[in-house]
Amino acid sequence: MHNLEPEDIISIVNLELEDKDAFTFPALFQDGLDEIRTDPVRAVFFNPETRLQETHWIVADEIPGDDVNGRFIIYSEEDNLFGIAGKTGPGEGESGSITGFYGSLADALDNLSDEINP
C-alpha cells in the first residue's frame, strides 16, 4: 500500500483528463479544471463508513487557497477510485470527512458539480 509517487498520480490524472472533451465529462469543469488542480499530496481523511482515518491523495481543490471552505477531489491509491472529501472536520484541527468515492475523475467532478448546482 502507498507505493505510488506524486509523478504516478499526475500520470493517472492526466490519463483521466484525456476524456475531458467528451460529452460525459462535467461541463462545469471542462475549461476551469486547471484552476482547481493541485500538485498531488497525501492527506489523512476520516471515513464515516468505517469510522477510521485513511490516507488518500489530494488532486484538486474546489476553492484553492481556502483551508476551510470547499472540498477536495481525492484519489484512493488502494481502490483506484476518485472521490470527494471535506477540508476540515467539525473540531479544530480535525481532518475532513470523505463524502464518497465515485469511480473516475469525471464521476467525482460530476458529483461535486451536483453539490454546487443541485
Q: How far apart are CA 36 and CA 86, in angstroms?
A: 15
Is residue 1 one of the residues assigned to a domain?
no
Buried b (16+ CB within 10 A) or exposed e, 70-81: bbbbbbbbeeeb
Is residue 25 one of the residues assigned to a domain?
yes
Is residue 73 one of the residues assigned to a domain?
yes
Is residue 102 one of the residues assigned to a domain?
yes
The domain of 25 spans 6-116
Per-residue model confidence as pLDDT tens for the chain (118 residues): 568 999 999 999 988 877 666 555 555 555 567 778 889 999 999 999 999 999 999 999 988 888 888 899 999 999 999 999 999 865 555 678 999 999 988 888 888 765 544 4
- How many domains is the chain partitioned into structurally? 1
The answer, as to whether pTM is greater than 0.75, is yes
Residue-level pLDDT at 73: 93
Q: DSSP per residue over 24-93, as a string?
A: TS-HHHHTTHHHHEEEEEEEEEEETTTTEEEEEEEEEESSTT-SSSSEEEEEETTTTEEEEEESB-SSTT
Residue-level pLDDT at 117: 43
Is residue 103 one of the residues assigned to a domain?
yes
Residue-level pLDDT at 41: 93
Is residue 44 one of the residues assigned to a domain?
yes
Is residue 46 one of the residues assigned to a domain?
yes
Residue-level pLDDT at 36: 81
Q: How far apart are CA 52 and CA 49, in angstroms?
A: 8
Is residue 75 one of the residues assigned to a domain?
yes
